[in-house]
Amino acid sequence: MDIFEKLQNLDKRVFYILMALAIAIPTINPIGLPIDITKPVKDTFDFVQSLPDGSQVLIGFDYEPGDEIDLSPIAEAIFHQLASKSIKIVALASYPAGPTFAEECLEVLEEYGYKYGEDYVNLGHYAGGEPTLAAFANDPLSIFARDWRGNDVSSLAIMKQVSSMKDFSMAMTLNDGPTGGTGTHEWVRQAVMAHGTPLIMGVTGVMAASNQTYVQSGQCKGILAGLRAAAEYEKLTGKKGTGTVGMDAQSIAHILIVAFVVLGNIGMFVVRRPRVQPASISASKPGSNSPSKPGSDPSSKPVTPGGEGK
């Protein structure tokens, strides 16, 4: 087996080790690769910046622990911007793990002097997905009698200013999909279509593709997709966090995958290329009685990724 055949069938353990190193080393020892601001993130930042100072926003923590690394950095980055404008935050969650993430992310507000119950509240988890969100949108107090910390919601100063979804200057969902919780489509229907409340989304990288349609249609005012968006937002707010650190690792991991794909294809093209012998060249000249048949050379046999001929 020559080197090009080996390139097509590298041991997956080699890839696993390289991938582990590619993620671990930049995470432990950040490189600080420069991050450019993309248009979707800038548009989202500008939209949030245009919200009235001191207004209320609704943030849905609709994700599970597996997607925390993508979405919590987005939440923290945007909380810095909201706090700089004294915007009040009402958090709720359609996943059972959501309120705990909300509690952790909302801690960043303390450095701005935010007071629980007056400037922000964590309402906790609601079951039932879209219909419950619809009920909340019509009458928030009908769904949450007590908040995540056990307080009477109707007694909280922040909730006295909210009687329906229309009272929020913006809604945002941090979302990893509709399975078990409220998805982005449901937020569009209940926040934007039913009440006209502007919506922005923080989604995992893989969900960006399916939600781009809402941005183009204007139903979603901005989309922040994955760790990259968190890193860009941190740059815009000037508060570096886990998003910026994670981008180094993600950059190198992507490059590693692309490098492996390129190497595999180089191996395939070299091995598949017919290796014509000098004798067969003369035999295949015009007028020859014994032209060489395509594929008669064993070395020209096409090889698929699994090493089988096709």
Partner 1 sequence: MFAKKTLPTIIAFVCGVTVVIAYFFNIPFIQARAQDILKWQSVIAVFALGLGAVNIIRIHVNNVQRSQNRNLYSLALLLTFAITILVGVFAGQNSDAYKFIFDYINVPTGSAIFSLLAFYIGTAAYRAFRAKNAEAAILLLTGCIVMLGRVPLGAKILPVSVPLTNWIMSVLNVGGQRGVMIAGAIGFIAVSLRIIVGLERRSYGGE
List contacts with partner 1 (CB under 8 A): 10, 12, 15-16, 19-20, 23, 33-36, 38-39, 64-69, 97, 99-100, 103, 126-129, 131-132, 134-135, 138-139, 142-143, 148-149, 194, 205, 208-210, 212-213, 216, 226, 228, 247, 250-258, 260-262, 264-265, 268-269, 302, 304-306, 310
Q: Least distance from C-beta 51 to partner 1, angstroms?
A: 25
Q: Least distance from C-beta 75 to partner 1, angstroms?
A: 14
Identify the helix (H) or strand (E) that includes residue 22.
Answer: helix 12-28
Strand partners, 93: 125
**Using CA atoms, how far apart are residues 299 and 277, in angstroms rounded to an integer?**
11
Q: Least distance from C-beta 35 to partner 1, angstroms?
A: 5
Q: Least distance from C-beta 277 to partner 1, angstroms?
A: 25
- Is residue 199 within 8 A of residue 217, CB to CB? The reply is no
Residues 6+ apart with CB under 8 A from 76: 105, 108, 230, 239, 241, 242
In the numeric block, which tokens belong to residue 281? 């060249």
> How, if at all, do strands 88-93 and 170-175 pair?
unpaired
Q: Least distance from C-beta 128 to partner 1, angstroms?
A: 3
Residue nearer to partner 1 on the CB measure, 103 or 297: 103
Residue nearer to partner 1 on the CB measure, 138 or 280: 138
Residue nearer to partner 1 on the CB measure, 67 or 119: 67
- Is residue 203 within 8 A of residue 223, CB to CB? The reply is yes
Please give the backbone phi and psi of residue 174, each rounded to the nearest 5 degrees, phi first.
-100, 105
Residue nearer to partner 1 on the CB measure, 85 or 195: 195
Q: Least distance from C-beta 190 to partner 1, angstroms?
A: 9
Residue nearer to partner 1 on the CB measure, 14 or 276: 14
**Using CA atoms, how far apart are residues 108 and 68, in angstroms rounded to an integer?**
16
**Using CA atoms, how far apart are residues 182 and 160, in angstroms rounded to an integer?**
25
Residue nearer to partner 1 on the CB measure, 85 or 264: 264
